Chains A and B, each alone.
Chain A
Amino acid sequence: ELQLVESGGGLVQPGGSLRLSCSASGFTFSTYPMHWVRQTPGKGLQYVSAITNSGDKTYYADSVKGRFTISRDNSKNTLYLQMSSLTTEDTAVYYCVKRTVTTNPYYDFWGQGTLVTVSS
């Protein structure tokens, strides 16, 4: 059974840092590009970051560029998102998302999400 389990969310003060993890199982993790997507009540779903299957290329939304770093450890089947210089605007549920490898690159599976709250 395919699973993506996020962890590492919590309450952090503005300006602080947090590292999210996503543990994958039920598929060959090293084959697939992976993304982080976040959701807020006000702005809905928002793409955050992406990484190729090998980890050699990374991509970021403008809103997080320079503050967030995506990475992966294929030997541990784990995806990471290191977040720093957090602001209240980063408060959201963060989802780890699996992307297809076909020429049609949609999101075919989402984790359950982890809540990040940035507040003093």
Chain B
Amino acid sequence: EIVLTQSPGTLSLSPGERATLSCRASQTVSSNYLAWYQQRPGQAPRLLIYGVSSRATGIPDRFSGSGSGTDFILTISRLEPEDFAVYHCQQYGSPPNTFGQGTKLEIK
């Protein structure tokens, strides 16, 4: 199965700053089937990005995804207070679907 490694494990930033989160796959992600989810404390994951770079319905344009092959990035251009959460990447191109271990974005 494809192993996804997210870095950093924890990212400490201030509101208004730019966040760059990485997700690296152990093999090429088929068809660029790579998604990002946001999870706030006590809540379920929420879809942000699918197909590497397509924003889900209702997701602000400060969230963007990029990458291909084995290396993917989630960028949050200007952090808002509600953006501090855990972010998970997922590949769904090769069964079984697998997830990264998550990046915690915390307020500095």
B86-108 interface mask toward A, CB cutoff 8 Å, 1 = contact, 0 = none?
00101010011111111000000
| Contact of B56 with A by CB under 8 A | yes
B33-56 interface mask toward A, CB cutoff 8 Å, 1 = contact, 0 = none?
101010000011111001100001
B residues within 8 A CB of A59?
Answer: 95
**Which applies to chain B's interface (DSSP): helix, strand, loop or mixed?**
loop
**B interface, size bucket:** 20 to 34
> In the complex, A111→B97 CA distance in Å?
18
**Which applies to chain A's interface (DSSP): helix, strand, loop or mixed?**
strand
Given contacts A44-B99, A47-B98, A110-B46, contact A104 B33 (CB under 8 A): yes
**Most chain B C-beta atoms within 10 Å of own C-beta, residue among A61, A62, A106:** A106
| Contact of A101 with B by CB under 8 A | no
